[in-house]
Amino acid sequence: MKSAALTIALDIRIADAVYRLGGAATLPQILAEAGINPCKLHDLRRVMRVLTVSGIFTVQQPEMAAEAPGCRHDEAAVYKLTAASRLLVRDKSSTTGQVSPFLSVHLFLTPWRESQMGRCMQAWFRQDQQQPGPSLFALANNAQTIWERAEGDAAAFPFNNAMASDTAFLMPIVLKECGEVFHGLTSIVDVAGGLGGAAATIAAAFPNLKCTVLDLPHVVAKAPSGTNVQYVAGDIFENIPPANAVFLKVRPTPDICPIICLI
């Protein structure tokens, strides 16, 4: 993730934009100075989060009272250059007459920059359109979504197995740290629960809790038999089986940890 964020910073010249703005700038200012469409603001925020955690930039969060009217909190944060991010600045070389140190960083990042995903990231951020457009994944996979890629080539792209692996790792931690949220429930439906790994773990820990998994028909068709979990084929946007609570386990984006919701 650090290499990916550094590649984006180098290719769309984030450090140069901040440098030209006096060494400190907000996300909207960086977008405007770098010539990036404003619709990419939230994606740039994720990149800058990686770069600030890594120490490449620093960030100063605004006082709530100091925020401009109508300005979101994350849009008012000020990002500043550090000794590390100054190595990414190209504009300094034109004023000092010296060779810019960014050339060495450019060389070290070449393997990532020349990879398929690296090229797609640069092209995606440079898209000049009012809407975000195709995802990075789609750009790198011939316009396929994650689901289409997984269905078409499960051997090379075992997405469902990876999600099952993630569930097997995460659910024991959830039950240990947050198991009290299931107390008092008699029924629960796991929406988009796949083959029922999470529901089966909950059912094993709470034998009196009726656990149901709701997923699309082609997923439920592959569900294991002989378990204490009930499987229902359906669509979350059309109907959800009645239960005390709805269980959601989602990973919105690659840079965000899995989120567990009990509704």
Strand 187-191 with 24-25, pairing = unpaired
User: Average pLDDT for consecutive 10-residue bins of the chain (263 residues)?
Assistant: 86 92 94 89 90 93 58 78 89 61 75 76 72 69 81 81 85 91 93 90 93 91 87 91 88 49 61
Instruction: Report the distance separating Cα 119 and Cα 253, nearest Å.
Output: 19
Q: Which pLDDT value is given to residue 21? A: 94
Q: Which residues contact 23 (CB under 8 A, 6 or more apart)?
A: 80, 81
Q: Which pLDDT value is given to residue 255? A: 41
pTM of the model: 0.57
Strand 245-250 with 259-262, pairing = antiparallel
Instruction: Report the distance separating Cα 166 and Cα 53, nearest Å.
Output: 24
Number of domains in the chain: 2
Q: Which pLDDT value is given to residue 95? A: 55
- The alpha helices in 27-182, defined as continuous H runs, are 27-34, 41-53, 73-76, 91-96, 102-108, 110-113, 116-125, 136-140, 146-152, 159-178
Boundary (domain end) residue, out of 143, 171, 201: 143
- Tell me if 125 sits within 8 A of 43, measured CB to CB: yes
Same domain, 12 and 133: yes
Identify any residues that bridge with 60 across adjacent strands, giving them in sequence order: 78
DSSP 186: S
CB neighbour burial string for 175-214, b if at least 16 within 10 angstroms, e if fewer: beeeeeebeebeebbbbbbbbbbbbbbbbeebeebbbbbb
Q: Which pLDDT value is given to residue 261? A: 62
Q: Which pLDDT value is given to residue 191? A: 92
> Among candidates 237, 235, 233, which has minimal Cα distance to 223?
233
Range of the domain at 127: 2-143
Strand order of the sheet with strand 229-233?
Answer: 229-233, 210-215, 187-191, 245-250, 259-262
- Tell me if 160 sits within 8 A of 196, measured CB to CB: no
Q: Which pLDDT value is given to residue 263? A: 61
* Chain center to CA of 143: 19
Asked if the structure places residue 153 within a domain, the reply is no
Asked if the structure places residue 152 within a domain, the reply is no
Boundary (domain end) residue, out of 114, 143, 172: 143
Strand order of the sheet with strand 57-60?
Answer: 24-25, 78-81, 57-60
List the end-to-end C-alpha distance of the chain, in Å, as a whole number: 32
Same domain, 230 and 106: no
Q: Which pLDDT value is given to residue 155? A: 83
CATH of the domain at 100: 1.10.10.10
CATH of the domain at 238: 3.40.50.150
* Chain center to CA of 212: 28
Asked if the structure places residue 150 within a domain, the reply is no
For CA atoms 215, 218, 222, 225, the dihedral sign is: positive
Same domain, 81 and 135: yes
Asked if the structure places residue 151 within a domain, the reply is no
Asked if the structure places residue 238 within a domain, the reply is yes
Same domain, 121 and 239: no
